[in-house]
Amino acid sequence: MANSLAQWHAEHVNFGKLLDCLETQLELFHDALTPHYELMLDIMFYMTNYADVVHHPKEDLAFARIKACAPQVAGIVEELDVQHEDLRRMGAALVVQLSDIFNGAIASRMEVETLARDYIATFREHIAFEERKILPMAAQLLVAADWAAIDAALRHTDDPLFRQDPEPRYALIVRHLTEGAQA
């Protein structure tokens, strides 16, 4: 149980690091400089293929168990479900926009920047809310059997980026995070 909560929190911290990187590149974009589009795309690939596909579905199962233990939080759980869908939709749209730019298409800087800033802000607010409200509820309400059932309901997928041997697909992000940590 404690391990599941620690992993949940650690993933939030890791997502925050990626949002920081994305925001740094977005500042270059805003200042009419050339951001590292490939890095931005890699970050969004991770966010749409790990956060949206692995992390959020596991959270959804935890939310459902929390709601079963404390029906009075149904409104909060429903809002978090909506936020997950909004983040998925926004992330997919941002991937399309960044892919178009990376592939040489003309794109509205304002639209790309607005979408990216909205995505970053929404994701950060979402993480902060979960950290403040949901993780404490999970710690209080969920027992080892709940976590075992959640784990059994999902195919186990190791984090492809934040593990001992990150997938080669994420080499650019790893290099960027390592260089940033050394600076």
The tally of domains found in the chain comes to 1
Query: Using CA of residue 15, residue 20, residue 25, residue 30, what is the dihedral sign?
Result: positive
- Residue 136's domain spans which residues? 2-182
CATH code, 151: 1.20.120.520
Distances (CA, A) of 13 to 48, 97, 99, 164: 17, 26, 26, 17
Query: Using CA of residue 53, residue 6, residue 164, residue 14, what is the dihedral sign?
Result: positive
User: Can you tell me which residue has the tokens 């979960």?
Assistant: 130
Residue 37: predicted pLDDT: 92
Nearest CA to 57 out of 30, 87, 33 is that of 87
* Overall average pLDDT of the 160-180 stretch: 93
* Residue 75, pLDDT above cutoff 60: yes
Task: Give the model confidence (pLDDT) of 17-53 as tens digits.
Answer: 999 999 999 999 888 888 999 999 999 999 999 999 9
CA atoms of 13 and 43, how far apart (whole Å): 14
